[in-house]
């Protein structure tokens, strides 16, 4: 159940509360990505300490490894990964279309071969929902088709119609105990297709709605337009989820556009490359000018990494390839994302979100080398 608690007077930002079988999610909220049942380098205790209320895992990858037999024997994904709080599972459709070596789209699903060993699989609405029942996720996503951003109008139209057809089939499948199901809106940057898909998916009646087909290689202005084309057709009384987004600056702008939930691999991915997010942009910790820098990653940050270690020490860890370095940057980056969400919730509640949005935009310098990523970890 989703409760809309407050809307911002100057923007479309929303304060809400999503109640699931395993806990309450305060929105806006960011979901750390644990594609294969683990958020890279972080354990469940650390995730809770930095404010994570929900994580995301992926149907495709968990079906390939370790496989449903193991997950069923282990009592589902929560028990398997030692996380007792809410989990959202992607249906696997994006990975099938982006990772599978060979695929053949049929009316009832997709035949494909694993990107790992070429093993044959079939994924349709029935299979996607069955896998998510076995996983026991609190929120299951319908199977959709996510074409490339530069596809032809004909391909985009066919993907929308197939997405609607598959969503209808997913809607009729059995669910796990207390499991919610979210519909997904496709349509690229075609306003008519976005409206067509949104209206049809909403008419089916889901627990929440996701905006798909964004962060798939398109320029940022097109991504924002796709969100703006979709949001007006989503019901205010249901939670809204933008899939695979984004950088800190993008998250602020997307909250201002009425989105409630987010996921992205960037916080842990760029951490493994020696880059940290800050309120002013990115920081390359491996840079030579940090070799004797006594400051934390970010002044004023309360995460464990910033309370404990200097930039000089973290740079040293990367230089000698000690795993603690990338773990601490992952802690910091995820903490920053979750603290940013908490601050936006506070500012919406206080009625000062628009002021916060302006202040954040003035101080944040986007990096040309860091883009939102809806890729698997």
260 is catalytic: no
User: Active-site residue among 203, 207, 263, 293?
Assistant: 263
Burial (0-12, 13-18, 19+ Cβ within 10 Å), 239: buried
Closest CA to 25 of 16, 13, 35: 16
Q: CA 307, 52, 29, 91 torsion: positive or negative?
A: positive
Closest CA to 344 of 16, 25, 28: 28
Helix (H, G, I), strand (E, B) or coil at 166: helix
Closest CA to 56 of 144, 139, 124, 180: 139
Measured CA to CA, the distance from residue 328 to residue 306 in angstroms comes to 9
What the block records as the tokens of 303 is 């995460």
Helix (H, G, I), strand (E, B) or coil at 218: coil
90 is catalytic: yes
Measured CA to CA, the distance from residue 102 to residue 122 in angstroms comes to 12
Measured CA to CA, the distance from residue 369 to residue 119 in angstroms comes to 35
Measured CA to CA, the distance from residue 321 to residue 271 in angstroms comes to 13
User: Active-site residue among 8, 90, 144, 260?
Assistant: 90
* 3-state per-residue secondary structure call for 28-56: CEEECECCCCCCCCCCHHHHHHCCCCCEE
- Check: CB of residue 208 under 8 Å from CB of residue 17: no
Residue 237 CB neighbours (<10 A): 10
Residue whose pair of structure tokens reads 């201002």 in the numeric block? 256
Helix-helix angle 248-256:353-363, to 10 degrees: 150
Closest CA to 59 of 170, 164, 150: 170
Helix (H, G, I), strand (E, B) or coil at 360: helix
Active site residues: 90, 263
């Amino acid at each position: 159940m989703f409760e809309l608690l407050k809307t911002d007077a100057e923007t479309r930002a929303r304060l809400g509360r999503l109640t699931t079988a395993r806990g309450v999610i305060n929105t806006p909220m960011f979901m750390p990505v644990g594609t294969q049942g683990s958020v890279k380098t972080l354990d469940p205790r650390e995730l809770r300490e930095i404010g994570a209320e929900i994580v995301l895992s992926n149907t495709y990858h968990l079906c390939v490894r370790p496989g449903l037999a193991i997950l069923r024997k282990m009592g589902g994904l929560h028990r398997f990964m030692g996380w007792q709080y809410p989990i959202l599972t992607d249906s696997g459709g994006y990975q099938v279309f982006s990772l599978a070596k060979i695929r053949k789209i049929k009316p009832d699903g997709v035949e494909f071969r694993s990107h790992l060993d070429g093993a044959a699989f079939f994924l349709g609405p029935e299979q996607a929902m069955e896998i998510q029942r076995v996983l026991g996720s609190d929120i299951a996503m319908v199977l959709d088709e996510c074409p490339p951003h530069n596809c032809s109008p004909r391909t985009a139209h066919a993907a929308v119609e197939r997405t609607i057809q598959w969503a209808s089939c997913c809607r009729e499948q059995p669910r796990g105990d207390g499991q919610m199901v979210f519909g997904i809106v496709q349509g690229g940057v075609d306003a008519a297709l976005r409206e067509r898909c949104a209206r049809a998916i909403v008419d089916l009646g889901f627990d929440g709605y996701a905006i798909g087909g964004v962060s798939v290689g398109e320029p940022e202005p097109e991504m924002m337009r796709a969100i703006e084309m979709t949001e007006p057709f989503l019901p205010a009384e249901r939670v809204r989820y933008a899939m695979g987004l984004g950088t800190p600056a993008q998250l602020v702008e997307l909250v201002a556009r009425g989105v409630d939930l987010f996921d992205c691999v960037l916080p842990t991915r760029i951490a493994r490359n020696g880059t940290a997010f800050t309120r002013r942009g990115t920081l390359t910790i491996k840079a030579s000018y940090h070799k004797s820098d006594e400051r934390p990653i970010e002044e004023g940050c309360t995460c464990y990494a910033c309370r404990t270690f200097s930039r000089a020490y973290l740079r040293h860890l990367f230089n000698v390839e000690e795993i603690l370095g990338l773990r601490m940057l992952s802690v910091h980056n995820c903490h920053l994302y979750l603290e940013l969400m908490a601050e936006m919730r506070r500012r919406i509640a206080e009625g000062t979100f628009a002021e916060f949005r302006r202040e954040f935009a003035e101080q944040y310098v986007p990096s040309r080398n860091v883009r939102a990523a809806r890729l698997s970890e």
